[in-house]
Amino acid sequence: MEKLTCDVLVVGGGLAGLMAAIEARMYVEKVALASNAPVGRGGNTMVSGAGFAAYLGEEMPEDSRQQFLQDTWNGGRQIGDLRLIETLVDKAGPALLQMEAGNGVKLQRVEGKVVRRRPPGHTFARQVSTVFSGYPYKTRGLSITLPLARSALNLGILGLDHCPAMELAVHDGRVCGAYLLDGRGKRLIGVNAGAVVLAAGGGGRLFAHTNNTRDVGGEAFALALKAGAELRDMEFVQFYPTMGVKPVKVTISNSLFGHGAVLRNGSGERFMERYDPRGDMATRDMMSRAIFQEVEQGKGIHGGVYLDCTGIGEDILLNVYRDLTLFLRKHGCDPARDWLVVYPSTHFFCGGVKIDARGYTGVPGLFAAGEAAGGLHGANRLAGNALSEALVFGRCAGEAAGKYAAGLKGVLPPLPEPPLFSFRREGSVSLEEVVSTLRKTLWENAALVRDRQSLEKARDTIAVCESALETCRVSDELEMGYIYRAKNMCLVGRAVVEAALLREESRGNHYRKDFPRENEAYRGSFLIRLVGRELVLEFRTR
Ligand SMILES: Cc1cc2nc3c(=O)[nH]c(=O)nc-3n(C[C@H](O)[C@H](O)[C@H](O)COP(=O)(O)OP(=O)(O)OC[C@H]3O[C@@H](n4cnc5c(N)ncnc54)[C@H](O)[C@@H]3O)c2cc1C
């Protein structure tokens, strides 16, 4: 095993990881950034719509800090962590402007003023996007990550590309580094670090239908659990209502609804008012479920429903949504005239590692940020709040980790012997089949519409997958790495299912067919710990 030493190790090379690394570097010399994909060229930040929700003070005279806070709290069905929400609301605006001035991430402006949009759930137009023309439409988030990756490089941060963290190193209850698998060299790297920031994103790939990138498979949650941290709100998985089915598979921005886009079923009938009084301005959870139900009832078309943007007007489509419009036209569909077909897909994990406002997990040496962390969004997330979360809490966690590591004055807890990673085994079970079974079962039984029966079915299938992974063939370190990660996926799948089983109500993104109403008794969060192999869940109201 190769060994490396640094003050702060950041796991994950998306927005949260990059911000954490840049910030930590203000306090310590040696910062390393390990990522599954090349730093800045992977993760959901890269494929995001590049829209940040923020209150920018004087630029937004009709808006207020209080209104942003209220919208976020209500969007999360009153179970979000208020300290995290306050941190987001207070810091998103200044952090965004600082990222523009200090790191070269340009914001869309007209005559100096930021261009603002109002996606569903926000009372006022407070979503601000980066300038992404010049980047491929599907990876317009590169407009965020590439300038930040350049900043990180200029600061001398060591990038460890294609190096997924397999396990965190824990000595005497303190996190003191991680074991990485160098995907190219097929060898293990033991990184001894004063502090670790977990910024390895969410877990959309756990489900068969997702718009998440391939390198994000819920590992952050499993790594944290195994290191002794708690997870919260894992039952709240967000589904994006408008993933393009026809003419092209691409995530279509929800802010179109603020400009007059509407949904129609296969007969051309508008249906959102039947599900929610806000109609086509309903939040994503309501909209996803409504689409799912229309299709289930046989009212869909090509496996989805129509998205009709013809009421928006060509001028707005070409000015405000220029890149999307041109992209769709290239695929033979003019949104000013033609209806598209859309269907929901797994989009975002509202839950994650429990943190405080500094990104501290409660396990000495371990910090978390971005989609890996939970608590801010409660039961549902508003558009634009995820990138702002990654930006704000990436910085907070980087600062806290940097200060913590600086306090160690170079005396690091020793790196324990690695677990038994390297082994060979004969076996007939195909890893691909196990992972595909896991993803399919989670989509069919634990996604948009759940009930006790479906969740118990998911639980049983996950158990079968877990034991199958014990007999998979292992021929080299890379294969062993995939099996390790599949085991992590099973563990996280279990966390989702167990929390969903215990929450006998419907709230935000979590919809139980057998308990269709919100129940005041569940106004709180399920906290999850790992004890041995078992997950222990505890309900807390504050
Ligand atoms: C299609 C799409 C559009 C979106 N649009 C928006 C939007 O416009 N506005 C908004 O607010 N939110 C949006 N979101 C959500 C938002 O993009 C994400 O929540 C946010 O980018 C997460 O940032 P992150 O840094 O936490 O994680 P990511 O950007 O996902 O980065 C995770 C990083 O961790 C790495 N990684 C994973 N596992 C490991 C491991 N074991 N070891 C090492 N590295 C690992 C990955 O390679 C990657 O570098 C969108 C999401 C999607 C999928």
Is the beta carbon of 164 within 6 A of some atom in ligand 1?
Answer: yes
Question: Which has the higher per-residue pLDDT, 187 or 62?
Answer: 62
Does the domain made of 2-235+350-407 have the CATH classification 3.50.50.60? yes
Q: Range(s) for CATH 3.90.700.10 in the chain?
A: 239-346
- Dig out the tokens for 67 from the structure: 């209104």
Q: Say yes or no: CB of residue 387 within 6 Å of ligand 1.
A: yes
pTM of the model: 0.94
CATH 3.50.50.60: which residues of the chain? Answer: 2-235+350-407
**Candidate from 387, 421, 492, 509 with most ligand 1 atoms within 8 A of CB, to mutate:** 387
Q: Which two tokens stand for residue 132?
A: 């992404």
Contact 439, 187 (CB under 8 A): no
**Ligand 1 neighbour 36 (Cβ under 6 A):** yes
Q: Does residue 379 surpass a pLDDT of 70?
A: yes
% of the chain residues with pLDDT over 90 = 85
- Does the pLDDT at position 472 exceed 70? yes
User: Taking a C-beta distance cutoff of 8 angstroms, is the pair 375, 355 a contact?
Assistant: yes
CB 235 within 8 A of CB 351: yes
**Ligand 1: does its nearest atom lie under 6 Å from the Cβ of 244?**
no
**Predicted confidence (pLDDT) per residue in 312-350, tens digit:** 999 999 998 888 999 999 999 999 999 999 999 999 999
Cβ atoms within 10 Å, residue 389:
26
Distance CA 63, CA 66 (A): 8
**What percent of the chain has a predicted confidence (pLDDT) above 70?**
99
Read off the pLDDT of residues 37-64 as tens digits, 9 standing for 90 and up. 999 999 999 999 999 999 999 889 999 9
- 284 noted as active-site residue: yes
| Mean pLDDT within 397-409 | 97
pLDDT at 102: 96
Ligand 1 center from residue 244 Cα (angstroms): 20
Q: Which of 284, 381, 450, 485 is catalytic?
A: 284
Fold entry, domain 431-541? Methane Monooxygenase Hydroxylase; Chain G, domain 1 (1.20.58)
Query: What is the rounded average pLDDT of the residues 258-267?
Result: 96
Give residue 243 CA to ligand 1 midpoint distance, Å.
17
Topology of domain 239-346, CATH: Flavocytochrome C3; Chain A, domain 1 (3.90.700)
**pLDDT for the residue 284:** 81
Residue with tokens 């670790």: 196
Q: Average pLDDT, whole number, for the chain? A: 94
For residue 422, what pLDDT band results from cuts at 50, 70 and 90? low
Pocket test of ligand 1: the residue of 45, 242, 284 to mutate, having most ligand atoms within 8 Å of its CB, is 45
pLDDT tens column, 79-88: 999 999 999 9
Cβ–Cβ < 8 Å for 185, 160? no
Cβ–ligand 1 distance for 189 under 6 Å, the answer no
Beta carbon of 128 within 6 Å of any ligand 1 atom: no
With contact defined as beta carbons under 8 Å apart, do 242 and 248 qualify? no
Is the separation of the CB atoms in 234 and 351 below 8 Å? yes
**133-170 confidence digits (pLDDT tens):** 889 989 999 999 999 999 999 999 999 999 999 999 99
Residue 421, pLDDT above cutoff 70: no
Whether ligand 1 lies within 6 angstroms of the CB of 384 is answered as: yes
* pLDDT at residue number 180: 95
The pair of structure tokens assigned to 440 is: 């399919």
Ranges in the chain annotated CATH 1.20.58.100: 431-541
Residue 29 Cα to ligand 1 midpoint, Å, equals 26
- For ligand 1, the distance from its centroid to the CA atom of residue 409, given in whole angstroms, is 32
Instruction: Specify the ligand 1 atom closest to the Cα of 163.
Output: 43
Per-residue pLDDT at 296: 87
